Amino acid sequence: MNKIIPDQWHKDGKESPLATFVKNIHPVSPEAIEYINQHSYPQRVDRGTFLLKAGEVSRHLYFIRRGVIRAYIKDGTKEITTWITAENEVVASIRGFNLQQPSMENLQAIEECDLVVADFESLQYLYTHHMEMNIVGRKLLEHYYRDAEERAFISRIPNATKRYHHFLNTQGHLSNRIPLKYIASYLGMTIETMSRIRSARPKVK
């Protein structure tokens, strides 16, 4: 069940965490910050909550203040994890949100999450009326393109043990927060292979 948290940053004269995140990417006008403050809101979702399901067109993007979210696609009854991310990241379906087309992915909270939510129309307004927000958008796309390149790279490492060690080196902070079945799926291996690799003594190369 989703729970709306009182809008404390307006009540207490504070700034939306999404606005703070944006300012850390690139300087933006006070007017843009105020617009973000007025057009974003906090939301808490329980573990297992779907932020988006495959086939839906997304109207919202989410900034993660606390928690972990995964995306996955389905092949029959099999779930294939496509990405996993946590605090201080913005998440949305590229197809479902940016292109306003039916999403191929499901977005699901795998921990209880505190989020900041903004909608598609608000983002388009910011792009149109505050030109500096287009630089923010470009830098975010560069960041997430790099992440997509990383996922493409890790999927091409032929050795399962090396894939897992690469995951630990790049996303090790998540290794104890994510169920093994999701890590195994993300790395393209069975849960049995994952368990065997984790129980083995690492070899020094």
Q: Are 107 and 71 in contact (CB under 8 A)?
A: yes
Give all domains of the chain, ordered by start, each with its CATH number. Answer: 3-132 (2.60.120.10)
pLDDT at 199: 85
Tell me which residues of the chain have a pLDDT lower than 50. 1-6, 204-205
SS (H, E, C) 95-143: HHHHCCCCCCCEEEECCCEEEEEEEHHHHHHHHHHCCHHHHHHHHHHHH
Give me the phi and psi of 79, to 5 degrees please.
-100, 130
- Counting Cα atoms < 13 Å in the Cβ hemisphere of 204 gives 0
Model pTM above 0.75: yes
pLDDT at 176: 85
> Which residue do the tokens 């104890």 mark?
176
